A and B are shown apart, each in its own frame.
Chain A
């Protein structure tokens, strides 16, 4: 397993059992599978603005769920309402079928890993971890505390104060302090935000491993789309207090349903156009006229197949070739999904090259070309672009095509 902690000293090796439930040391870390979380019409109104609009959301038991969105989108407020730190203005919250809407946070089967960790500075690492079990008067709180200190590989630092630990270590204390209570749902509020990139990647796989081991429902709030996509089983993209789309990361990426999701999750080229022939055909494809260009979209990959639409295609799905060369990879014939333009910018990033191509009528399109040894294009070069309609998606044309572009 690619888990992070592997002890160096042989005598402690048997304790650091991280492989599976069968080999666990004293105590049983795995909770009975975590619980389902259901938000029904939950909303939060502050004095002067609506943080969360009426939201429905179901997080399945045992799932790693990510709430992704730019700052101020309501994701943290949503999390805090689940934790009981914020009272919803309306709606209900159910955990494992039980309505917890009016329960105070200390009576909810939920624990939080706070963004700032919020470790108690006057307590040792051990006392921090033991806090929850002691409040609940768990009989074997001592053994359990030690057990979870080992889970996060901090038993050797248990007598230190949080201030004496590095950021990554503090993060693990926060994790152990929450997990030791074996909550039905673990809430993570941007838990990796304060870590540097490398440590972040390590902690991401570590979190995934721990989630698999303890089998809890994890709800992870983040504004980092890569983090959300790489960790989550399913995710919700939030914007301005609403959930824009829910689904598996790959589904959201391949088939965004709003301009915001298309732009916030990765990058997209969105081209405005009008459906030709009323879109009333029966075939699997319909055609869009975008400033004279003919673009084909799969009916089942489009939110709307009439009137004004936005046709989207990811930069890496576009084939780029020197102008005049034969089409390759484009399955649609007759000039559909084929445009020509001029390269305006070239950024070589190693694995791929990012081109900007000015296409008359469509504006600048982004193209990512894998570096397989071909010669790079230069600014000013005339190029032909094409893509498979199976990779295009159709959005409602009334949206702002730039939504979510700048938001982070």
Chain B
């Protein structure tokens, strides 16, 4: 009888194959598909691919002898990369370090938030909606303004530092303003929704019956979370960490507002000042390119390690 069952499913598979091409030829559908992605492709070509090549070209320019500030000529000077890498590798490393810390903090803070809204409050649409609005509401005020506000929160005479000092969790002479702690705190705060929303979207789609099945199969709440909820939410976590880490590692606003110029400088600040103030275009372009490639490599390794084919 097994063979009969196998024969049946074989036939069904044949059915599906036969049914698939029905309704318009594959060719005409392909053409329609290209038509739909066309505008997007053109947009990407003009505003992404071309600029990337311009950036690459600029990064190889040289300053001719006796030229004015900001004046460069086309060349193939790969030495630019060695120069900026030699000069700014600490800022590059620090950027990734800060971004990593902020990402981990966002995950630790954001996952429970997403879990609460999507799983624990399932079926209570009003509370869910309210919490989501609260999560996104700060975005209605300016990024810079919110970051400035963190200066006040972390100020020496502020409530937080006073409380920490009273509780002897912070030495009396210490300060949070203009420290790496402040920068990471700012990054964490500003990128938190980018972590919460993808995880929320993922958990929202989690089939509740799987949790019941887990409990039915002798899993305690903790065991079910560990073996069912968490593994199934990996794609959401993956998306959230990428959406947090990538912009955080290139960010310069948080470090500029909440940091100092000694040990909190991030690579984004360096690029910003090279482009806007020092007018070292090839250096800035080279750094941008290095940052881009480094992120690409890190992300690829990360996705290879944690992303599974059928979950991403």
Interface residues of A (CB under 8 A from B): 4-8, 83-85, 104-107, 110-112, 114, 116, 118-122, 131-132, 135-136, 153, 161, 163, 166, 168, 177-178, 181, 202
Contacts and interface: CB of A to CB of B under 8 A. Distances in A.
Given A118-B207, A122-B231, A181 B2 contact: no
21 contacts: A4-B1, A4-B5, A8-B3, A85-B216, A104-B215, A106-B216, A106-B219, A106-B220, A107-B218, A110-B216, A116-B209, A118-B210, A119-B213, A120-B228, A122-B234, A131-B214, A131-B219, A131-B227, A163-B310, A177-B217, A181-B217
Contacts, number: 81
B212 interface: yes
Contacts of B216: 83-85, 105-106, 110-112, 114, 178
A213 B290 CA distance: 67
Contact of B2 (A84, A85, A119, A153): A153
Contacts of A136: 218
Contacts of A107: 218
B223 interface: yes
Nearest to B208: A118
B176 interface: no
B232 interface: yes
A153 B3 CA distance: 12
A360 to B, nearest CB: 52
A15 to B, nearest CB: 13
B1 A6 contact: yes
Given A85-B216, A132-B218, A118 B209 contact: yes
B311 A122 contact: yes
Contacts of B209: 114, 116, 118
Which of B5, B216, B218, B228 has the most C-beta atoms of chain A within 10 angstroms of its own C-beta? B216
A6 B227 CA distance: 34
Given A85-B212, A161-B310, A111 B1 contact: no
Contacts of B152: none
Contacts of A106: 215-220, 223
Given A5-B1, A114-B213, A131-B214, A122 B219 contact: no
Interface in B1-35: 1-3, 5, 9, 12
B217 A131 contact: yes
Nearest to A161: B310
Contacts of A114: 209, 212-213, 216
B217 A132 contact: yes
A168 B6 CA distance: 11
B208 to A, nearest CB: 9
Contacts of A110: 216
Q: Is the interface of A mostly helix, strand, loop or mixed?
A: loop
Interface string B55-96: 000000000000000000000000000000000000000000
A8 B223 CA distance: 40
Contacts of A104: 215
Nearest to B308: A122
A202 B8 CA distance: 13
Contacts of A153: 2
Interface in B104-137: none
Interface in B251-269: none
Nearest to B207: A118
Contacts of A132: 217-218
A4 to B, nearest CB: 5
B206 to A, nearest CB: 10
A166 B2 CA distance: 14
Contacts of B217: 106, 111, 131-132, 135, 177-178, 181
Contacts of B213: 112, 114, 118-120
Which of B1, B207, B214, B219 has the most C-beta atoms of chain A within 10 angstroms of its own C-beta? B1
Interface in B191-249: 207, 209-210, 212-220, 223, 227-228, 231-232, 234
Contact of A121 (B3, B12, B227, B232): B232
Lowest 4 A-B CB distances belong to which pairs? A118-B213, A132-B217, A135-B218, A118-B209
Nearest to A6: B1
B149 to A, nearest CB: 41
B17 to A, nearest CB: 15
Given A5-B2, A131-B219, 9 more contacts: A4-B5, A84-B215, A104-B215, A111-B216, A112-B213, A119-B213, A131-B214, A131-B227, A136-B218
Contacts of A119: 213
Contacts of B1: 4-6, 202
Contact of A120 (B3, B5, B9, B210): B210
A178 B220 CA distance: 16
B118 to A, nearest CB: 17
B212 A8 contact: no
Contacts of B218: 106-107, 132, 135-136, 181
A95 B212 CA distance: 20
Which of B2, B220, B232 has the most C-beta atoms of chain A within 10 angstroms of its own C-beta? B2
Contacts of A8: 2-3
Contacts of B12: 166
B226 to A, nearest CB: 11
Contacts of B311: 122
A166 B9 contact: yes
Given A5-B2, A106-B218, A181-B218, A118 B212 contact: yes
B165 to A, nearest CB: 45
Contacts of B9: 166
A178 B231 CA distance: 21
Contacts of A105: 212, 215-216
A67 B215 CA distance: 23
A218 to B, nearest CB: 15
A148 B15 CA distance: 32
Contacts of A202: 1, 5
Nearest to A112: B216
Interface string B297-312: 0000000000000110
A131 B216 CA distance: 10
A136 B215 CA distance: 12
A281 to B, nearest CB: 56
